[in-house]
A = this chain, B = another copy of it.
Amino acid sequence: MTSFELHPQLAADTETVATWPLCEVLLIKDANYPWLVLVPARDGLRDFDDLSPEDMALATLEITRASKVLKSLFSPDKINVAALGNMVPQLHIHVIARFAHDASWPQPIWGVVPAKPYEASELDARLTVLRDAFEAT
């Protein structure tokens, strides 16, 4: 039993892609980038170093799994990984496929351009391709 609850801001900004041993895997609803957020389903974590050693090992496996699927699906120029959380205090780890032609390149993506809504069909297609790829890994 866990009393883990996703922070309402993360719930509002994302769609659920998968539930992994440690993390809820979410897609941020910003069509500018293939942008995942991994949220360890543990109560009361804020910083990456708050994870227990066992959970940190799981976190790195899941960051790696997410990164490798983004690479295989989208052939990005770079993967950005970050645990920031200055605004949403619940520990969450961004895993973002970046491209030399994307809206914020070469800057980090936060605060550079507004989120670009997905078309409904585009969002469905992206969720399907991600879910299929994660089931295959």
Binding site for B on A (CB under 8 A): 46-49, 56-57, 59-60, 63-64, 67-68, 71, 78-87, 98, 105-108, 110-112
A59, B46: Cα distance in complex, Å: 19
Asked whether, in the complex, the Cβ of A87 is within 8 Å of the Cβ of B106, the reply is yes
A78, B63: Cα distance in complex, Å: 21
Given A57-B57, A63-B48, A67-B47, verify A108-B81 contact (CB < 8 Å): no
A48: chain B residues within 8 A (beta carbon): 63-64, 67, 79, 81
Question: A44 to nearest B CB, angstroms?
Answer: 15
Main secondary structure of the interface of A (DSSP, over half): mixed
Highest count of chain B CB atoms <10 Å: which of A47, A56, A105: A47
The listed residue (B64, B68, B80, B87) touching A84 by CB distance below 8 A is: B80
A68: chain B residues within 8 A (beta carbon): 49
Name the CB-closest residue of B to A93. B81
Asked whether, in the complex, the Cβ of B108 is within 8 Å of the Cβ of A86, the reply is yes
Asked whether, in the complex, the Cβ of A47 is within 8 Å of the Cβ of B79, the reply is yes
A80: chain B residues within 8 A (beta carbon): 82-86
